[in-house]
Amino acid sequence: MLNLIEQKRKPEEIDQIMDELILLTIAIFSDEEEMMDKYSYPIAVKHDHLKQHATLFKKLLDFVNSSSRKRPSLDKTRQFCSTWIQPHITSDDFSLSSFLQQAAPQSVLNSVPDVNSANVPRSVVQFYRRSSIGMEERTLFETMMARLGLTNDDCASRMSSQLWL
């Protein structure tokens, strides 16, 4: 992404990379949340982790949205890329990984999330369906999901009777 911006590539090329980043984030977060459920990740830690997924996803959508309206500067993009997810990976994902090393079989740990078949993570869907979420934020979420070809079913299938946020 940084290279495309530095090379002053077409906005469509940058949008495509941003879309791929959203899809990859969906796949990874969804995979993590499924493993948390399947292997009984401690509820208090899980709750905080899921809140972070929702917050990180919102930050990503906000960045992508602002970038699609106006080409982001190289410095702004570099700052986003270096601060957006790194703290989550080195802290919360590290803790989840340590837990899963003990709880899950190695074959599960070695699997790679499927970007093409992942559903929007429950934490994200629930965040955007809260009654306190603003119409502008909800519309941005729905617009981005439609742009990525994700249907309401892809989002609705992530809902369950358990509310995490």
Estimate the share of the chain in helix, then strand, then coil, as percent rounded to the nearest 5: 70, 0, 30
- pLDDT on residue 160: 40
The pTM (predicted TM-score) of the whole model is: 0.86
- The secondary structure of 72-85 as a DSSP string is PPHHHHHHHHHHSS
**Residue 100: half-sphere exposure toward Cβ, Cα within 13 Å:** 22
CA 113/CA 29 separation, integer angstroms: 9
- pLDDT on residue 23: 94
Band of the pLDDT at 32, cuts 50, 70, 90? very high
CA 118 to chain centroid: 11
Q: Any idea how long the chain is?
A: 165
